[in-house]
Amino acid sequence: MADCLFCRIVSKKIPADVVAESPEALAFRDINPQAPVHVLVIPKEHIAGVLDLDKGRSETLSEMMSMAQDVARKEGIDRTGFRLVFNCGADAGQAVDHLHLHCLGKRALAWPPG
Ligand code: AMP
Ligand code: ZN
């Protein structure tokens, strides 16, 4: 989608600090990090959000989870702990309508979240 921010990152029209890439998914550092490690994992294909991730897309989700595991290991938060978050819709504060998995760590994360 030409007007989607994360599609533009996938097509390299907007620069990003990429930490992992596969044919199906991309991981890059959040521009406004909420923790010392804050990486976004996205599918390269445009999927608007969690509610658009139907059963036929289970491989996409599996690829994203696999990449999140790689990111956790690379960033050294696999042992200390980390949080994976999908914001979905207005109440969760979803700002970008391209599916993305937040991967946060390297500090103690409060629970419940705000
Ligand atoms: P959400 O609120 O779940 O939709 O998260 C969107 C995230 O995208 C926010 O944490 C933003 O800081 C992040 N973001 C927005 N623009 C960029 C960008 N150009 N590069 C990296 N991260 C971005
Ligand atoms: Zn998109």
Annotation marks residue 100 as catalytic: yes
Model pTM score? 0.98
Tokens (6 digits) for 25: 């998914």
Distance between CA atoms of residues 11 and 7, nearest Å:
6
Neighbours of 52 (CB within 10 A): 11
For residue 95, give the ligand 1 atom closest to its CA.
4
Tokens 């890439």 locate to 21
From first to last of its 114 residues, the chain has per-residue pLDDT tens of 889 999 999 999 999 999 999 999 999 999 999 999 999 999 999 999 999 998 888 899 999 999 999 999 999 999 999 999 999 999 999 999 999 999 999 999 999 998
- Is 112 contained in some domain? no
3-state secondary structure of 40: strand
Residue 26's domain comprises 5-105
- Work out how many domains the chain is built from and give that number: 1
- pLDDT confidence of residue 107: 98
Count the residues in the chain: 114
pLDDT at 114: 85
Kindly list the protein residues whose Cβ atom lies closer than 6 A to any atom of ligand 1.
Answer: 5, 14, 16, 28, 30-32, 40, 87, 93-96
Return the CATH number at 29. 3.30.428.10
Alpha-carbon dihedral angle through residues 64, 50, 94, 4, given to the nearest 10 degrees: 70
Report the separation in Å between the CA atom of 4 and the middle of ligand 1, taken as the mean of its atom positions. Answer: 12
Q: Is there a domain that residue 114 lies in?
A: no
What distances in angstroms separate CA 58 from CA 54, 63, 69, 80, 94, one per listed residue?
7, 9, 17, 28, 21
